Structure 1
Amino acid sequence: MKPLKGNPTLRLLRLVLRRFNRLELLIQNNSRPLPDDLIDTPAVRMLTRMSDRTLSRRRSDGTIPYVKHGGKIYYSRSRVLEALRNEPNTTSTNKVKKS
Protein backbone atom coordinates (compact mmCIF):
# COMPACT_ATOMS: atom_id res chain seq x y z
CA MET A 1 0.00 0.00 0.00
CA LYS A 2 1.31 3.46 -0.97
CA PRO A 3 1.81 6.10 1.67
CA LEU A 4 -1.01 8.68 1.70
CA LYS A 5 1.30 11.67 1.54
CA GLY A 6 2.72 10.72 -1.85
CA ASN A 7 -0.60 9.63 -3.36
CA PRO A 8 -1.25 11.86 -6.43
CA THR A 9 -5.02 11.43 -6.14
CA LEU A 10 -5.00 12.59 -2.54
CA ARG A 11 -2.83 15.61 -3.43
CA LEU A 12 -5.23 16.55 -6.22
CA LEU A 13 -8.24 16.26 -3.90
CA ARG A 14 -6.55 18.47 -1.30
CA LEU A 15 -5.79 21.07 -3.98
CA VAL A 16 -9.40 21.05 -5.20
CA LEU A 17 -10.69 21.36 -1.63
CA ARG A 18 -8.42 24.36 -0.95
CA ARG A 19 -9.66 26.08 -4.11
CA PHE A 20 -13.29 25.43 -3.21
CA ASN A 21 -12.68 26.89 0.25
CA ARG A 22 -11.15 30.02 -1.31
CA LEU A 23 -14.09 30.37 -3.69
CA GLU A 24 -16.54 29.99 -0.81
CA LEU A 25 -14.79 32.78 1.10
CA LEU A 26 -14.84 35.06 -1.96
CA ILE A 27 -18.55 34.47 -2.47
CA GLN A 28 -19.36 35.08 1.19
CA ASN A 29 -17.34 38.32 1.28
CA ASN A 30 -18.71 39.74 -1.99
CA SER A 31 -22.38 38.87 -1.76
CA ARG A 32 -24.74 41.30 -0.12
CA PRO A 33 -28.05 40.04 1.19
CA LEU A 34 -31.16 41.43 -0.44
CA PRO A 35 -33.51 43.59 1.65
CA ASP A 36 -36.49 41.84 3.24
CA ASP A 37 -39.20 43.86 1.51
CA LEU A 38 -38.21 42.88 -2.04
CA ILE A 39 -40.91 41.41 -4.24
CA ASP A 40 -40.75 40.04 -7.76
CA THR A 41 -42.61 41.10 -10.91
CA PRO A 42 -45.71 38.89 -10.47
CA ALA A 43 -46.15 40.22 -6.91
CA VAL A 44 -45.88 43.85 -8.11
CA ARG A 45 -48.42 43.15 -10.86
CA MET A 46 -50.85 41.70 -8.32
CA LEU A 47 -50.25 44.56 -5.88
CA THR A 48 -50.61 47.35 -8.43
CA ARG A 49 -52.88 45.67 -11.01
CA MET A 50 -50.46 46.74 -13.77
CA SER A 51 -49.83 44.93 -17.02
CA ASP A 52 -46.35 43.65 -17.88
CA ARG A 53 -45.99 46.42 -20.46
CA THR A 54 -46.93 49.19 -18.04
CA LEU A 55 -44.55 47.84 -15.43
CA SER A 56 -41.77 47.64 -18.01
CA ARG A 57 -42.45 51.22 -19.10
CA ARG A 58 -42.39 52.45 -15.50
CA ARG A 59 -39.06 50.67 -14.96
CA SER A 60 -37.63 52.27 -18.09
CA ASP A 61 -38.72 55.80 -17.26
CA GLY A 62 -37.52 55.49 -13.66
CA THR A 63 -40.95 55.82 -12.06
CA ILE A 64 -40.60 52.50 -10.26
CA PRO A 65 -37.13 51.65 -8.92
CA TYR A 66 -35.87 48.09 -9.22
CA VAL A 67 -32.79 45.92 -8.78
CA LYS A 68 -31.57 42.95 -10.77
CA HIS A 69 -30.21 40.01 -8.85
CA GLY A 70 -29.27 36.75 -10.46
CA GLY A 71 -31.02 37.71 -13.70
CA LYS A 72 -34.32 38.36 -11.94
CA ILE A 73 -35.92 41.76 -11.32
CA TYR A 74 -36.97 42.74 -7.80
CA TYR A 75 -38.76 45.78 -6.45
CA SER A 76 -38.89 47.29 -2.98
CA ARG A 77 -42.53 46.98 -1.93
CA SER A 78 -42.45 50.22 0.05
CA ARG A 79 -40.80 52.17 -2.79
CA VAL A 80 -43.30 50.86 -5.35
CA LEU A 81 -46.21 51.98 -3.18
CA GLU A 82 -44.52 55.35 -2.57
CA ALA A 83 -43.94 55.85 -6.30
CA LEU A 84 -47.60 55.12 -7.02
CA ARG A 85 -48.76 57.53 -4.31
CA ASN A 86 -46.60 60.31 -5.77
CA GLU A 87 -47.76 59.67 -9.33
CA PRO A 88 -50.41 62.01 -10.73
CA ASN A 89 -53.80 60.37 -11.16
CA THR A 90 -54.55 59.83 -14.85
CA THR A 91 -57.72 57.79 -14.64
CA SER A 92 -60.75 58.51 -16.77
CA THR A 93 -62.59 60.01 -13.79
CA ASN A 94 -60.55 63.19 -14.22
CA LYS A 95 -61.92 63.80 -17.70
CA VAL A 96 -64.64 66.38 -18.16
CA LYS A 97 -67.89 65.04 -19.57
CA LYS A 98 -69.39 66.85 -22.54
CA SER A 99 -73.08 67.72 -22.28
Structure 2
Amino acid sequence: TLDDVAAERIVSGRSWEEFCDTLKAAGAALTFPGAPRDAFNQAEGYRYLTRLTRAGLEAFVEHADAAAPVIHRVAHETVKLGSDNPDNYYQTARLN
Protein backbone atom coordinates (compact mmCIF):
# COMPACT_ATOMS: atom_id res chain seq x y z
CA THR A 1 0.00 0.00 0.00
CA LEU A 2 1.00 3.63 -0.22
CA ASP A 3 1.26 3.77 3.57
CA ASP A 4 3.72 0.86 3.53
CA VAL A 5 5.84 2.54 0.87
CA ALA A 6 5.82 5.82 2.83
CA ALA A 7 6.78 4.03 6.05
CA GLU A 8 9.66 2.22 4.32
CA ARG A 9 10.96 5.51 2.86
CA ILE A 10 10.91 7.10 6.31
CA VAL A 11 12.53 4.16 8.11
CA SER A 12 15.26 3.81 5.47
CA GLY A 13 16.02 7.54 5.53
CA ARG A 14 15.31 7.88 1.82
CA SER A 15 12.64 10.56 2.38
CA TRP A 16 15.07 12.71 4.35
CA GLU A 17 17.87 12.23 1.81
CA GLU A 18 15.60 13.21 -1.08
CA PHE A 19 14.33 16.24 0.83
CA CYS A 20 17.89 17.42 1.48
CA ASP A 21 18.96 16.76 -2.12
CA THR A 22 15.97 18.71 -3.43
CA LEU A 23 16.68 21.62 -1.10
CA LYS A 24 20.33 21.64 -2.18
CA ALA A 25 19.29 21.64 -5.86
CA ALA A 26 16.91 24.54 -5.22
CA GLY A 27 19.73 26.50 -3.60
CA ALA A 28 21.85 25.96 -6.71
CA ALA A 29 19.46 28.28 -8.55
CA LEU A 30 21.18 31.15 -6.77
CA THR A 31 24.30 30.51 -8.85
CA PHE A 32 22.56 30.37 -12.23
CA PRO A 33 23.93 32.75 -14.88
CA GLY A 34 22.34 36.15 -14.49
CA ALA A 35 21.59 35.74 -10.79
CA PRO A 36 22.96 38.60 -8.66
CA ARG A 37 26.22 37.45 -7.06
CA ASP A 38 26.72 40.08 -4.37
CA ALA A 39 26.51 39.04 -0.71
CA PHE A 40 23.27 40.91 0.00
CA ASN A 41 21.28 39.35 -2.85
CA GLN A 42 22.72 35.89 -2.25
CA ALA A 43 21.70 36.13 1.41
CA GLU A 44 18.22 37.29 0.40
CA GLY A 45 17.96 34.34 -1.98
CA TYR A 46 18.80 31.88 0.79
CA ARG A 47 16.41 33.68 3.11
CA TYR A 48 13.61 33.37 0.56
CA LEU A 49 14.39 29.68 0.02
CA THR A 50 14.33 28.93 3.76
CA ARG A 51 11.04 30.77 4.17
CA LEU A 52 9.44 28.79 1.34
CA THR A 53 10.82 25.61 2.90
CA ARG A 54 9.28 26.53 6.25
CA ALA A 55 5.93 27.28 4.57
CA GLY A 56 6.03 23.90 2.84
CA LEU A 57 6.84 22.05 6.05
CA GLU A 58 4.03 23.83 7.87
CA ALA A 59 1.53 23.03 5.12
CA PHE A 60 2.54 19.47 4.26
CA VAL A 61 3.91 18.15 7.57
CA GLU A 62 2.61 20.13 10.53
CA HIS A 63 -0.91 20.74 9.17
CA ALA A 64 -1.28 17.75 6.83
CA ASP A 65 -3.85 15.72 8.76
CA ALA A 66 -7.17 16.10 6.93
CA ALA A 67 -8.89 14.29 9.81
CA ALA A 68 -7.85 17.13 12.14
CA PRO A 69 -7.83 20.24 9.94
CA VAL A 70 -6.06 23.39 11.08
CA ILE A 71 -6.63 26.71 9.36
CA HIS A 72 -3.24 28.31 8.89
CA ARG A 73 -1.73 31.18 6.96
CA VAL A 74 0.43 30.23 4.00
CA ALA A 75 1.69 33.74 3.25
CA HIS A 76 2.29 36.36 5.91
CA GLU A 77 4.89 38.82 7.19
CA THR A 78 7.77 36.34 7.14
CA VAL A 79 6.66 33.99 4.36
CA LYS A 80 6.27 35.60 0.96
CA LEU A 81 5.14 33.62 -2.06
CA GLY A 82 6.76 35.96 -4.53
CA SER A 83 3.69 37.77 -5.73
CA ASP A 84 1.34 37.67 -2.77
CA ASN A 85 -1.10 40.53 -2.50
CA PRO A 86 -0.72 42.55 0.73
CA ASP A 87 -4.49 43.08 0.77
CA ASN A 88 -5.19 39.33 0.90
CA TYR A 89 -5.22 37.13 3.98
CA TYR A 90 -4.10 33.73 2.66
CA GLN A 91 -5.41 30.80 4.69
CA THR A 92 -5.75 27.12 3.97
CA ALA A 93 -6.62 23.82 5.63
CA ARG A 94 -6.55 20.19 4.53
CA LEU A 95 -10.01 18.69 4.58
CA ASN A 96 -11.22 15.15 4.19
TM-score by length of 2: 0.29
Larger proportion of strand:
1
- Larger Rg, first or second structure (1 or 2): 1
TM-score by length of 1: 0.28
